[in-house]
Structure 1
Amino acid sequence: MDIPVIWIPADEAQPIELIEVDREDLDTYQRLVGGNIEVLPLVFPPASYFFNEEYRGSDLAINPRATQVLWSHNPHYAGCDPIQGDVFITGDVDPEGNETAVPGNYKELLQPVKFRVDIVTGSDRRWVSNGVIHDTRALAEAAGQRLFENWTQVSKFRVVPDSTPTRERVEPLAE
């Protein structure tokens, strides 16, 4: 039975795609990740996250988009090693143990993402932004690093999708 999944290639020049796969075809799963599969749970909302089990120490390219998804949708893995290689996401497993269609919430990944830099200054306990939007995470990270190095009031910075709510409180664990 075919189900829709979200495929996130490591090559950021390639788009994230919604594709149909046979949920019982292990060869297709392995082809999508370029080798043997490993799966982790996503929890917000429940889904399954498939990647190449031999990614650590391999020559597979780092996949910043898939890493961000993992960090955002399963707090247990936030800040862990970046994922390398291509990734795909299915829905959670059904009572018989079969993967299901990817939840609609993840389809927002198909939209182009822009990034902004949020900073914390002095004793402020909220993330703030100057509203400048960057086309790529790398450009936003470079801008954040420049702010951090050149503005002594900046105590920390983060790069977030521009859709992230503004003025979020700084979490104690993030310090």
Structure 2
Amino acid sequence: MVQGIIIPADNTAPLRAAILDSLEDYQRAVGGWIEAVDIPDLGVTIYVNEEGLIRDLPFNRRATFLWRFHVPQARDARLVGDIVVVGLADDDGENTELPEDLR
């Protein structure tokens, strides 16, 4: 179980904390199958809806800015839909808590 942050695609909606205990929790948060996008410099993994672009989910400006800022080679990419941010996976492949300075 880890605490993460959900960044809604709706720019007017506030960020919110979430306790994520299972695959279903991540899927519920993003509205479907999940895909991981790492931001190593921040020590986080962003989970997005794997079919977000196909399903034409709304552009997530805040998450995309975060990703592009810390991963410059992703400057042409875009993240869509609601996303979940948690700490990078540990040696066992399990998600970890967000770094303290990001909470």
In the superposition, the TM-score normalised over structure 1's length comes to 0.55
Residue in 1 aligned with 2:25?
Answer: 28
- Work out the number of aligned pairs and report it: 103
Given that residues 33 and 51 in structure 2 are in contact (C-alpha distance below 8 angstroms), is that contact kept between their aligned partners in structure 1?
yes
Residue in 1 aligned with 2:46?
Answer: 49
| 37-46 vs 54-63, which moves further | 54-63
Given that residues 40 and 88 in structure 2 are in contact (C-alpha distance below 8 angstroms), is that contact kept between their aligned partners in structure 1?
no
Query: How far has the Cα of 1:103 moved from its partner?
Result: 1.2
Query: How far has the Cα of 1:57 moved from its partner?
Result: 3.7
State the Cα deviation string for residues 4-25 of structure 1 (Å, max 9, x = none): 1011000112101122211xx1
CA distance in 2, matches of 1:102, 1:54: 25
In the superposition, the TM-score normalised over structure 2's length comes to 0.90
Greater length-normalized contact order (CA 8 Å, ≥ 6 residues apart): 2
Residue in 2 aligned with 1:76?
Answer: 73
State the Cα deviation string for residues 61-106 of structure 1 (Å, max 9, x = none): 11101111111222231x2232110101110111111000011233
Given that residues 6 and 19 in structure 1 are in contact (C-alpha distance below 8 angstroms), is that contact kept between their aligned partners in structure 2?
yes
RMSD: 1.4
Alignment partner of 1:40: what SS?
A: strand
2:80 is the alignment partner of 1:63? no
CA distance in 2, matches of 1:37, 1:98: 15
CA distance in 2, matches of 1:80, 1:72: 11
Alignment partner of 1:38: what SS?
A: strand
CA distance in 2, matches of 1:103, 1:73: 15
Could you tell me which runs of 5 or more consecutive residues in structure 2 were left unpaired when the two chains were aligned: none
Alignment of 1:108-127 (within 5 A): none
CA distance in 1, matches of 2:14, 2:54: 25
Alignment partner of 2:6: what SS?
A: strand
Larger radius of gyration: 1
Could you tell me which runs of 5 or more consecutive residues in structure 1 were left unpaired when the two chains were aligned: 108-175
Given that residues 41 and 74 in structure 1 are in contact (C-alpha distance below 8 angstroms), is that contact kept between their aligned partners in structure 2?
no
